[in-house]
Every structure is written in structure tokens, then in C-alpha cells.
Amino acid sequence: MSFDLVLFGGTGDLAWRKLMPALFQAFRHGSLPEGGRIIGVARDELTDDQYRELIGSRFGAVEGAKRPSPEEFKRFASLLDYLRMDLSQPKDYERLAHKLRERSAERVVMYLATAPSLFTQTAQQIAAAGLNGPNTRLVLEKPLGHDLASNRAINRAVAEVLEERQIFRIDHYLGKPSVQNLFAMRFGNALFEPLWRREYIASIEITIAEEVGVEKRGSFYDQTGALRDMVQNHALQLLCAVAMEPPINAHADALRDEKLKVLRALKPWTPETLGLHAVRGQYTAGTAYGERVAGYREEPGIDPASRTETFVALRAEIANWRWAGVPFYIRTGKRLASRDARIEVNFRPTPHAIFRAPAGFANKLVINLQPKDGLELHLVAQSQSQRVSTQAGVRGGMAPLAPVQLNLDFDQRFGSERVGAYERLLLDVIEGRLNLFVRSDEQEEAWRWVEPLLEAWQTDNGPRPYAAGTWGPSASSAMIARDGNAWSEEQ
């Protein structure tokens, strides 16, 4: 199956850090369909060979096992072409159309790894050049808009030139193997689903923590912030994966219908909950990687008076039969104590204790997303080597119970067979599989839920400071403590 993948923003950060390494891994694994061509598009004046040299030099920053040998890269580079384009110039789209029609590939993928402000114009110009035929797929990177109105404008503009089945709104968290295993765990096994409800689950925590600061993305990030960059898309998609009802089948719209129901069931914000259940912060100077690092306002490209949040913690509730009364805690931030993404499902304590368990213990399921990838089931058990105690206060002479874990490490179990998030998603686009992509109504509903936060934060006192290398402002701990709970590192 022949395909052309046109990578708008082909010299940008996302292209060389994520997309090209993912395409190379698919090429190395033999899963990239034969007869493919990858066309980098940007404003730089480069020849095909210069573009290949540029991408080759960037592969030096890829982690060792994923780095190509010179011979491997030579073969991969034969797939790479380059086209200089100014995305505001219609004649440049005509040149792209001519280049694509030379081959008439069976499938054409247009990947917009550009600023969201260019999405509408680029989609319209693609159509004006006649490149919106039935074999075209358009990939849109997040954030898709700056608020609900801009998101709707982009969706309307794209829908005018392409059908929904041709539009792939990417959220790379949905391509992570651990998230795929979350769906498999819930809907492929009979073990958890009967317990996956308010009668058995006390709370759910979703954490996406980063050690790094804004790095080279300062100008972009200062206009975006953690709520837009991480919560509106990644965190809410994880919440949907945890909370959705079983779909009728594994088809794309069946999955997306159930995710949409969760987003519509999220309790709307009120003036009271905005004050109690939403915390935002901004990192100040501190220690990361054992070294002193600058505060957010001292980073390159950041306004010295910036009110942009680098940390968000929220308490959400889902108003439906399954989840009524169960708090969902979401937090994400930069320059936190460690790089860690996980979902923790905290079960209710046993209804009648006949053993002496550790104080405050309850069963917990931890779904590790990164850097670890796997499942941990936290239980209590009795050590057989321990002598049975007959001390007073130990019921029936039974020895106390101790915490134990059942630990499934997916990297150890499936290491050589694993497919990275962007590799999986790019192959799905080429094949036309929409299951792991976000539909327009899902996206709009997510924006609708976060918009009251965006509006309230325009006139509040600004984000709370927290030192780099910590777990965020203390108000985050106070928020969850009001329910008698604590974040995992505080337990």
C-alpha cells in the first residue's frame, strides 16, 4: 500500500524529537507499509539531501537502543523528501499538489505539527489546491485551539473541507501501551469490572508529573499553561478511559460515544467549587536533578510578570449512577519532584475487619504510565514465617497482616514486542483506524468543562508559588485532605 506522509513543520521540535524517531522505529520493525514517502515541509531553504542530513544529525539525541546505525538510517533516509513552503502562499500548495500527483499514492496523510493558529488556513488551502480527496487524512496536534470558541472555529473549518472519518485529532497518551492495557484490563477481563463502581471504589487519582521545566517552549507555554497543555486533553482522556461504561464493541465511534458521556456527566464548576476544588501553581527557583534551577519567570521567553500556571490540581465528580460521590483527583505540573504518570484506584476498606491490618490500609490498583509501565495491585497478607502471636488485642491469636504487591511490569513482560505511542498512532493514521483519536464533540465538551476555570483565573490573585523539585503548592494537599485523603507520596 503506497502512502505519502506530508509533515508540516518538518524541521520543528516535534518532528525530530517524536515523529521521525517513531517513523524510523516502524520502519525498523517492518510495520511501516512499503511504498511510503515522507515529505518534510517547512520554510527553511533545504535540498532533499540537506534535509536528510538534518534529520540524521537529530537522531544523535535519540536514546541508544532506538538510534539507527549508519546503514539503517541510509535506508530510512531514502524515504525522506523535502519541500520548502510558506503556508500562507497558495502557490506553494500548488507545488505540493504537483509533487503528490507525480506518484498518486493510495493514501495521503497531512500531519499539521504547526502552531494551532495555522490549522484553519492550512486546511482551507489544502482544499483549494484539490488535496482534500477521499484518500486524504489530516492529523491535528494539540492544543486544538485556545478556548471553546477557537476550538469550535477550527473544527468547523476542517469539517467544511473533510469528513469526520478523515480527521485525526491526536492525543499521544491514548497511544501509550499502558493506556491500551487499561482498556484491555477493564474490558478484556471479568475480574475488575464488577468492582469498578462507587460501592467499591473510594477515590481515583490521576497524576502526570514532569521533572523538566518549559525547556525551549517558553514562548509557546506562556500562552498556554498547564490547564490547556495537559488537563484539557491528556488528563481528561485518561479520566474517560477509567470512568467510561463498557462500549458495545471496539469500533471507534462506540468507544468515543462512551467517552463523550463521561465528559457530559462531569459536574460543572460553581463559584464554591472553583475556590475549593481547583488549585494552580507556578514554580519558583529550586533543585532538580540535584542542581539549582531557575524559576518559571526567569526562563527564556517567559514574561517576568507571567500569571501562567505550571501546576494544576483539581477535584472532579462524575454525576452518573456508577460514580456518584466518588472524587476524581487530577494533578499535573512541571518541575515536580519526579517524572511520574500514573492512575491510582483506591478501594474502600473491608466492611468488617477480622484481621489487624496496617493503620489506614485499603486495597489499591496502580496503573503506571511512565517512566514505569505496568500494574501494581496492593494487598495485605500474612507472612508464614512469622510466629503466631497470642498477645492481647490480636484477634483469634492471628498475626498482623503486612502490605504486599502483585507487580506486572509490561516492559519486562512484553519488552521486545512493545510499540511506542507515536509509532502506534502514526500507523493507525496510515491504516485509517480512528479508535485512538478524539472526535470533535469530545474535544468541545472537554473545553466546555475547563472554560470556567480559564475565566476565573483571569481575575484571581494568580498562581500559588511552589519550589522546583517539590510536589506543588501545599494547597493541593489541603484540597485532597478535606475528603480525608492524601496524595500517594504523602501516605
Q: Rounded to whole angstroms, how far apart are CA atoms 191 and 366?
A: 15
Q: Rounded to whole angstroms, how far apart are CA atoms 370 and 19?
A: 19
Catalytic residue among 234, 251, 277, 378: 234
The neighbour count for residue 330, using CB atoms within 10 Å, is 22
Q: Rounded to whole angstroms, how far apart are CA atoms 486 and 491?
A: 6
Nearby residues of 57 by Cβ (< 8 Å), 6 or more positions away: none
What are the DSSP E strand ranges found in 199-337? Answer: 201-209, 278-284, 286-288, 291-293, 311-316, 328-333
Torsion angle, CA of 443/446/451/454, rounded to 10 degrees? -100
Nearby residues of 11 by Cβ (< 8 Å), 6 or more positions away: 40, 42, 44, 46, 51, 54
Specify whether the CB–CB gap between 323 and 263 falls below 8 A.
Answer: no
Q: Rounded to whole angstroms, how far apart are CA atoms 439 and 428?
A: 15
DSSP 8-state class, residue 244: P
Distances (CA, A) of 408 to 185, 338, 367: 12, 21, 10
Residue count of the chain: 491
SS3 219: helix
Q: Is 234 a catalytic residue?
A: yes
Maximum distance among all Cα pairs of the chain, rounded to whole angstroms: 88
SS3 119: helix
DSSP 8-state class, residue 463: P
Specify whether the CB–CB gap between 93 and 129 falls below 8 A.
Answer: yes
Based on its alpha-carbon atoms, the radius of gyration of the chain, rounded to whole angstroms, reads 24
Cell of 45: 531553504
Residue in the structure block whose three cell numbers are 483549494: 128
Among all residues, which ones are annotated catalytic?
A: 234
